[in-house]
Structure 1
Amino acid sequence: MMKEFPDVKEVEAMRKIVGRYGITGREQVCPMKQLSDGQRCRVSFAWLAWQQPHLLLLDEPTNHLDMESIDALAEAINCFSGGLILVSHDFRLVSQVAEQVWVCDNQGITKWEGDIFSFKQHLRNQIDRDVKNREKGVVKER
């Protein structure tokens, strides 16, 4: 981080920056290869945030994150003043940050008119229908 952002002259200032993302103590000075996947994600988010982007494109950002980290990510996203496109299967994160839900299915993208929980219920209903159809011997191609 110090090499990437030479404007930050003091190590303590950089330690404070990554500390906001839960990287503390020895973790702040060890090589990235010694960090867990979740810790690497946290360093990546700190690096990304310090660049002050206007638009974030996040593709499955919760991979390797525990629930506490997912909640921290949601809080950071909600404080972000720029635009965001989030691709995720993580209902926990989506429910905390999404203003709109778009569904990618059947080689197309459509806006979902409800919230993520109504979409989840839709998926449950679809699975129930598919199971009943299989029990009846009806096979539906998607």
Structure 2
Amino acid sequence: MVQHVSFRYNENTPWIYKDIDFGIDLDTRIALVGPNGAGKSTLLKLLCSDVMPTDGLIRRHSHCKIGRYHQHLHEELPLDLSALEFMMKEFPDVKEKEEMRKIVGRYGITGREQVCPMKQLSDGQRCRVSFAWLAWQQPHLLLLDEPTNHLDMESIDALAEAINCFPGGMILVSHDFRLVSQVAEEVWVCDNQGIQKWDGDIFSFKNHLRKQIDKEVSNREKGVVKER
């Protein structure tokens, strides 16, 4: 439960949210949309306690495991370790290397890619390691911030399929409308220090944006004509 939450980073920065109020559960499948700087990533940070509300309260079930993927996660991997060493270190309950090889292999990291230092992997391959790490935490709620960066079309479709098979809740921030259309049941718009549910799907929101842009361009052109 997010109860009357307001947030800004400090007294010298503008309010990002003011008095937002909503609830999410394990049936939630939401895509957050809105202009850059409106607070989409900040909302995910609030939900998983990376930052704390300036005012208001966020209540979480004490047993709820939250898994957060953000677009810089692959940059935080220990690059001198191999994917196999990293996963064995993170999940000591998996004792056998062969078992961990199978786990990592499910995410497209196979053969030499599993045992070479991760600094030798591409950004896309490191993202796959991050997804393996995230999935093996077995979270109840997924917070996904731009998960398609560095992924090819085939990987994005595989991600969509995996999300749809996931039994928990999900909140997604993504500019990839194709992914959003495949996995989100609701679209929430972050703007003007608040959050509003969009009455329609992601494609109707895209059309709304297009009309807004066309209107702004038209107004600018009219202004130029008047000045002449």
TM-score for both structures, normalised by structure 1: 0.91
Change (3 A) 1:141 1:33: farther
Q: Percent identity?
A: 92
For 1:99 and 1:27, the matched residues in 2 are separated by 36
Deviations 1:114-133 (A, max 9, x none): 11111111111111111111
Q: What do the CA deviations read for 1:59-107 (whole angstroms, capped 9, x no partner)?
A: 1111111111111111111111111111111112111100101111233
Query: Does the CA-based 8 Å contact 1:100-1:112 persist in structure 2?
Result: yes
Distance 1:5 1:70, change over 3 A: same
Q: Which has the higher helix share?
A: 1
Change (3 A) 1:110 1:52: same
- CA change 1:139–1:42 in 2 (3 A) is farther
Q: Distance in 2 between matches of 1:80 and 1:114?
A: 24
Choose between structure 1 and 2 for higher RCO, CA contacts under 8 A separated by at least 6 residues.
Answer: 2
For the Cα contact (< 8 Å) 1:102–1:109, is it kept in 2?
yes
Once residues 182 and 146 of structure 2 are traced to their aligned partners in structure 1, the CA distance between those partners, rounded to angstroms, is: 15
Distance 1:4 1:140 in 2: 64
Distance 1:16 1:141 in 2: 67
What secondary structure sits across from 2:219 in the alignment? helix
Aligned to 2:121: 35
Question: 1:20 Cα shift?
Answer: 1.2
Structure with greater proportional strand content: 2
Cα 1:79–1:124 shift into 2, 3 Å: same
Deviation at 1:141, TM superposition (A): 18
> What SS does the aligned partner of 2:138 have?
coil
1:125 maps onto 2:211 in alignment: yes
Separation (CA, whole Å) in 1 of partners of 2:133 and 2:150: 17
Question: CA 1:98/1:138 → structure 2, altered by over 3 Å: closer, same or farther?
Answer: farther
Q: 1:88/1:138 Cα in 2 relative to 1: closer, same or farther (>3 Å)?
A: farther
Quote the Cα distance in structure 2 between the aligned partners of 1:17 and 1:76: 15
Aligned to 2:171: 85
CA contact (8 A) 1:103 1:112 kept: yes
Give 3-state SS (helix, strand or coil) of 2:225's partner: coil
RMSD over equivalenced CA pairs, Å: 3.2
C-alpha deviation, 1:50, in angstroms? 0.8
Task: Report how many residues are paired.
Answer: 142
**Displacement after TM superposition at 1:139 (Å):** 12
Deviates more, 1:131-140 or 1:56-65: 131-140
Secondary structure at the residue paired with 1:65? coil
Residues 130/2 of structure 1: CA separation in 2 closer, same or farther (3 Å cut): same
Contact in 2 for aligned 1:133/1:139 (Cα 8 Å): no
Classify the secondary structure of the residue corresponding to 1:140: helix
